[in-house]
Structure formats: C-alpha cells, structure tokens
Structure 1
Amino acid sequence: MKRYTLYLLTLIALGFTACQQEVAQEEDSCCAKPVAAGELPDGTSSLAIPTAGLTDMSLYQLESDWQNQNAEALKLQEFRGKVQLVAMVYTHCGYACPRIIADLKRIEMGLDQYKREDIGIVLVTMDPARDTPERLLDFAKSNNLDPKRWTLLTSEQDNIRELAALLNMKYKVELDGEISHSNIITVLNENGEIIHQAEGLGVEPDETVNAIKGLLQKI
C-alpha cells in the first residue's frame, strides 16, 4: 500500500502543477527552518481501493481514522460534497498558526454571500499528543470559530504525516516541543482534489477567494 501512497502523491503533484495558479512566495515558519523538501514520513497508513466517483488525485481516497473537536470519529470522505479550505496548525503555536487562522478568516469574510453549508474550513493539528479533541474544542471556542463551518481534526501521527505529504506540508517537531512548519492554505473541490494553494503568511486573499467562487459556480 505504501507504493500506492507514493503513486497518489505523484499524481497529485503532477496534476496540481499543471493547473496551479500563481501563489505568493512562502515565508519561513514561526519556529525554525522547515523540513527539507522531499522528506517523506515512514509507516504511513494504508489506502483503500478507490472510492466510486473519486479520481486518483482525491485526498478522500485516504482511509485513515480521524476525530473532530467533539471527539466524533470520522473519515476524510465525509467532507465530500462541498468546497473545503484546509490548513495544518497546532494550538500551542505562538506566531504562524494564529496568522494562518487570521488569513482563513479573511478568506471567509470574502465569501460572506455564501451559506455556511457551501464551504467548510478544516484545521488539522500537527501536534496530536497535546491537541486532544478537548483541547481543540477549547481552541475553537477561544478563537470564535463557527462550528457549523470549522472542523478541527486530530489523528495518529502517521495519518497526519501522510496527509501532510499529500498537501506538500513540511513540518518537524523540535527538541523543545515547538514545531517548525511551512504555511499553506489549500482549496479542495467537492471531490477532495487540490485546486489551489496559497503559501506564506498574510497573503492577499483575492486569488483564493476567486478560486473558491469558481468552484462554487460549478457545483
């Protein structure tokens, strides 16, 4: 199954390169230098036989198990059917992650004309040891994240690293417990395919907003 994971990675990379819009240059992370490009996790979780109606480039092919901030078990396939904004953060981050959330809120403001059920926003923790569902729920409440639109996810470390690799997200846990990481906001279409990525912090939201609007007009 690891071979199939690498196959999916290659397909996503090639497909996204072909259609990717120009994005802002990525900034350094809050904590340290990002993990070297090309570093892949070991022991990734297995993939199921492709789900009916999904292409080989869909992240929803992953069969890993996740929990949301309400401690509810779910699969990534459950996000199918609407446009999703995805970012990886951790709640003890003092600089970059709050800025990523602020950037997501700016994008959200640019989509005010759409209903809550039209767009989802998914935050995936990079720190499952500390970011329990209870911690994620407290974090969501303290940041005024609308539970009807925002979902916070945790899982086993291998599952998180597998998803990070497919999102081209690099991160590394340092000796002091801080996490050095790249800063990427990803737009998925209703079938879990990567359509657009914005790299860096404080990136103007217009391109991302327009990418989402284009998707919503097709649904």
Structure 2
Amino acid sequence: MTSLRLRCSSLLLAGLLGLPSVAAALDRTQLLDEANLLLLPRARPLPAVELVDQHGEAYRTDALDGRWHLMFVGFTFCPDICPTTLSELRRLLAGLPAPIREQIQVTLVSVDPRRDSPERLKTYLGYYRAGFEGVTGELAELKRLTQALGLPFTPADGATGDYSVAHSANVALVDPTGRLVGHLRAPLAIDALQTVLPEVIED
C-alpha cells in the first residue's frame, strides 16, 4: 500500500512538473554521476589571493581572464598523481569541441614554492604542449586559495632533499567570474566529462 502511494505521488509530481522536464533532470543527474562531477548547490566566490604565474607575472584570483578554469593542486616533483592528472586533462581538452575548449584554462597551483620557481613551472608545463598555466606563491596565500577551492594539501614545512607534498587529486571547476562551481573528482571519467562539461559551461 505504501509503495502504491509513493508511485501515485511520483506520477502526480511528474504530471505537475511536466514529464519531459523530470526526465531531463534525471538524465542530467545520471550524466553528472557518470562523469564524477560534483556541482555545488551554490557557487562560492574565491578570495582575493596574490600569486605569481609561470612567466613571473603577478596573478590574482579576483582578476581571472573571463574563462572557465580547471584548477589542480600539485607540484612538479610529484611522481604520480600530478603527471597522470595533467595528462588526463590534456586528453579531456583534446576531445572537447573547439568552441568549448577555447573557454577553458587548466591551471596547476603548485604548493611547493620552495622548489617550483616560475621558470621550473614554465618548463614542466611546456612538456604537455596544451597551454596549461602554473601559479605558486607564499604558503599563506596558497593555503587561502586551496581551502577556498576545497583542495587540501599538507605543507612540507622544514623538509629538505627529495620530499613529497600530500595533496588532493580532485580538480576544481571555477567559472569565468571567479566562483567555485564544483569538482571533477578523481579518478577523472574523461569520456563522460567530454559529454557533460559542455552542457555545464553553456548552461
């Protein structure tokens, strides 16, 4: 009896809202799940953070260039997560329609400023030949940004030699106005993302 009431309620709701729109919402939810893409209920503005880019130029999060950003936290000495993620992001961009691809900037936020100079970031990202951007800066600024992005890391304070930095493997999706919209969760589902990301950007 209870299941019958629930079914009747669902049918009534579908009738009130319009069955096509309900089906479309369900399809979109399924696509997002398959893409491992989590969209926030409400976009969150990023704090004004001052960093430096791979060209040695000042970089401010409150002065983004009007493009969508895929922001990833890591460091150039990372042995596995970073090169894998950057390679996957390159493949993701390569499979998107050109008008969509041109609206997206991939940015590596290096949380190893001791070793990752602008020059090293430029050389490292150049290997990917995908127009990736790199930024770094003072640890205090990096912490503010990564916390706002929901991409935590553990600073390697006092570490010397061949050390590692623990960091999130997710990728933050930031809209052209500098607001955090969601996360591409690891492992990246490239094929599904190539389907759903254009819909999110054009929505």
TM-score w.r.t. length of structure 2: 0.70
Q: How does 1:15-30 map to 2 (within 5 A)?
A: 21-22=32-33, 24=36
Residue 181, structure 1, aligned to residue 163, structure 2: no
- SS of equivalent to 1:57: strand
CA contact (8 A) 1:183 1:200 kept: yes
- Quote the Cα distance in structure 1 between the aligned partners of 2:192 and 2:91: 12
- Quote the Cα distance in structure 2 between the aligned partners of 1:24 and 1:155: 30
Larger relative strand fraction: 2
Question: Structure 2: 5+ residue runs without aligned partners?
Answer: 1-28
- SS of equivalent to 1:131: coil
Partner of 2:145: 163
The 1:184/1:56 distance shift into structure 2, 3 A limit, reads: closer
Partner of 2:193: 208
- SS of equivalent to 1:183: coil
- Quote the Cα distance in structure 2 between the aligned partners of 1:74 and 1:160: 12
- SS of equivalent to 1:114: helix
Q: How does 1:68-217 map to 2 (within 5 A)?
A: 68-114=53-99, 117-146=102-131, 150-173=132-155, 175=159, 177-201=163-187, 203-217=188-202
TM-score w.r.t. length of structure 1: 0.66
- SS of equivalent to 1:81: coil
Number of equivalent positions: 164
Letter in structure 2 aligned against 1:120: Q
Shift of 1:70: 0.5
Question: Structure 1: 5+ residue runs without aligned partners?
Answer: 1-18, 26-54
Letter in structure 2 aligned against 1:58: P
CA contact (8 A) 1:86 1:121 kept: yes
1:58 counterpart (31, 37, 45): 45
- Quote the Cα distance in structure 2 between the aligned partners of 1:82 and 1:195: 13
Moved over 6 A (4+): none
CA contact (8 A) 1:66 1:155 kept: yes
Letter in structure 2 aligned against 1:187: L
- Quote the Cα distance in structure 2 between the aligned partners of 1:116 and 1:205: 14
Percent identity, aligned pairs only, is 22
Shift of 1:167: 1.7
The root-mean-square deviation of aligned C-alpha atoms, in Å, is 2.6
Letter in structure 1 aligned against 2:149: L
- Quote the Cα distance in structure 1 between the aligned partners of 2:102 and 2:186: 27
